[in-house]
Structure 1
Amino acid sequence: MNRSWQVGTGLVLTALAGFVDALGFVRLGGLYTSFMSGNTTQLSVFLGHADFAHVVLPAILIGGFLGGAILGSGLSILIPSPWATPAVLGYEALLILAALGVGLAIPELGIAAFFMAVAMGSQNAVLAQVKGFRAGTTFVTGALFSLGQKVAQALTRTGPPFGWVGDGAVWAALLVGAFGGAVAYARLELYALFIPAAVSGLLALVAAIFALRHRTMMPEPPAT
């Protein structure tokens, strides 16, 4: 898996995270399925106001995201390197489909949202940080700060003139993905989850093809 593939996949996954987050935000009335800083703030506000009836859902989302991060990271550690990425991406696609199935069958928001949060937590294990900018994650606050930092370096000529492009692309990917999620939900409602599930599944297939090519190109061990 070369750097170009990593960067491209990371940007697609960042857009996918924005798509799912926007869909979850609309569906959950102001909560998120991947932006856990926002959910943590909401949780704290509800606790501070002793509004315990509204504490449960953000706590479920935070727990689901954490559980997904643990499971996705565990898969990427235990599965041999060429196959870790397709395994985690396939796992993510199944989780999104599970969220869709549960959401259609059970009107309770928290159960379907839990699967969406687990999927987003797992996604962060797909790619490590690509040198130059963080890609494929479900949060871009760090990328936005890095964008500002690198723009300042470019303006003061203390850094490369276009070093900010990568971080700007990450932020733009989340923006475009979130816009797509909001539009898709307005037209398809929960069926819009078919889109990120299909994208994750397609990326898993492409990653599996890369893994197969890597395996066939490896030299055979010498005969003893």
Structure 2
Amino acid sequence: MTKSHVLTIIKRLRGEFPDATCGLLHENPWQLLIATILSAQCTDKRVNEVTKKLFAERKSIADFANADLGKLEQEVHSTGFYRNKAANIKKCCILLLKNFDGQVPNTMKKLTSLPGVGRKTANVILGNAFGLNVGIVVDTHVKRISNLLGLTKEKNPVKIERNLMEVIPRTEWILFSHYLILHGRKTCIARRPNCPECLLADLCLYACSINIGRSQL
């Protein structure tokens, strides 16, 4: 796929989703950190329902560091993997107070030193809390759609991110993930992609392979 095609994809997605932003509701970096930990294998909608109550009751990192683990587990139960998530949230907040003066760090290395924080979570925080284009968030939508489009042939998220970083302009890294996530929810649905109605059909390797639209590839 040429650079021109990639830029056209971005332009069309920007036109379709001009208000694209992070789907996890938050007011500051530590709230986004907690929300992102909870988002693993869970929908943004469910996470937002849970964090609305969590953040109303606990107003600071210290409140989470001092939280009763059993109660926290109950409060995040509906997000799945609740024991691990509750433990990681509590441990993270303890370490933020101990090692980072109660502030969420803004580097990949420091963020990924926290329990439950991998590269994907760190990218979410760096991009959306600090506005730093350090990497590209690769969730299930991004993984699937980037393969369908022909932007990568990889299945490993780290390798997919590397491929995308090579072809997507750095200034678009944060928004590109948002675009694909929204596109995946609206049109390129996992089990039944609506290729005939897709604004990217003529630029999509998969859509062109099944003769949907007129290929520009």
Do they superpose with TM above 0.5?
no
Point out the structure with the larger helix share: 1
Q: TM-score, normalised by structure 1?
A: 0.28
Structure number with greater CO (CA < 8 Å, separation at least 6) is 1
